[in-house]
């Protein structure tokens, strides 16, 4: 049996990037997965791919900035697959710029997707999780939840908020069988990384070099962490903010010495 056999999961932003990789990993391990995303073509194609491979998945159109749509996604999971055991709040969208220049509507939409959307996902999922006697919530934050980045105030602010929201869920519902954890990726090889490269002065090679492993992270590597935190193997882990960043935040690089073992070993 797979590690998620008999479990039902929802992945928001599940049609591409980290979300799609997570949908695949959960389904491969036996879960029935609802792909909740605005990208209907991609979501339906992924569901068809997995169903064709004998796995269980279904797409549900979902705008995470609207609580009723997340409630409908949860209701769909219950009606289609019999319940809900895992909620992965992963959808993302962000604008940026210097703080004084950020359009108010860009700020509001960024937080609506990445912070309100996580709150709505938790609010919608918790009653269904309690019906099953508990379950797991995994929220996607970022290393930028700990550290700011130039021209990324909406993203960094939302991702920092996700960390304490996750902790709140963990302490409020831990005695009722619900675990809540946040994942904090570094630079992941997704379309979002292409936007970062286009907007900044670092090439993909420059960004890769900042990681101790010498490369950016693959979406499946992040999905493996989500799978672990969603599984019973992580039964004692809750309220955690787990970094999956290839060593991006392991050092300050203030000394000027060669980074990540680039010099002579002693």
Nearest alpha carbon to residue 20 among 88, 81, 69, 70: 88
Question: DSSP string of 55-98?
Answer: -EEEEEE--TT-HHHHHHHHHHHHHHHS---EEEE-------B-
Does the annotation mark 173 as catalytic? no
Cβ atoms of residues 145 and 115 within 8 Å: no
Gyration radius from the chain CA atoms = 18
- Helix 104-111 vs helix 153-173: crossing angle, to nearest 10: 30
Nearest alpha carbon to residue 229 among 185, 181, 186: 181
* Residue 263 burial (CB count, 10 A): 9
Q: Choosing from 98, 120, 155, 265, which is the catalytic residue? A: 155
Q: What span, in angstroms and rounded, lies between the C-alpha atoms of 70 and 22?
A: 18
166-194 CB burial, b ≥16 within 10 A, e <16: bbebbeebeeeebbbbbbbbbbbbbebbe
Strands 135-140 and 178-185, sheet pairing: parallel
- Which residues are annotated as catalytic? 155
């Amino acid at each position: 049996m797979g590690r998620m056999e008999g479990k039902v999961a929802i992945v928001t932003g599940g049609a591409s990037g980290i979300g799609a990789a997570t949908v695949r990993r959960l389904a491969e391990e036996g879960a029935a997965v609802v792909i909740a995303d605005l990208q209907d073509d991609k979501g339906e194609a992924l569901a068809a791919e997995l169903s064709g491979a004998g796995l269980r998945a279904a797409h549900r159109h979902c705008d995470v900035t609207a609580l009723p749509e997340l409630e409908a996604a949860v209701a769909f999971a219950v009606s289609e697959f019999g319940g809900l055991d895992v909620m992965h709040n992963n959808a993302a969208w962000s604008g940026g710029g210097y703080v004084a220049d950020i359009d108010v509507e860009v700020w509001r939409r960024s937080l609506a997707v990445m912070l309100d959307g996580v709150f709505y996902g938790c609010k919608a999922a918790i009653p269904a999780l309690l019906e099953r006697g508990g379950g797991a919530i995994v929220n996607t934050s970022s290393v930028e939840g700990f550290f700011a980045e130039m021209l990324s105030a909406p993203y960094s602010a939302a991702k920092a908020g996700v960390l304490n929201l996750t902790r709140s869920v963990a302490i409020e519902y831990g005695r009722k069988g619900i675990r809540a954890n946040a994942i904090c990726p570094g630079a992941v090889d997704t379309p979002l990384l292409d936007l970062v490269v286009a907007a900044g002065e670092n090439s993909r090679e420059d960004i890769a070099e900042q990681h101790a492993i010498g490369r950016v992270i693959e979406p499946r590597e992040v999905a493996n962490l989500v799978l672990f935190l969603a599984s019973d193997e992580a039964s004692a882990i809750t309220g955690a903010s787990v970094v999956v960043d290839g060593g991006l935040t392991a050092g300050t690089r203030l000394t000027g010495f060669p980074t990540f073992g680039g010099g002579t070993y002693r």
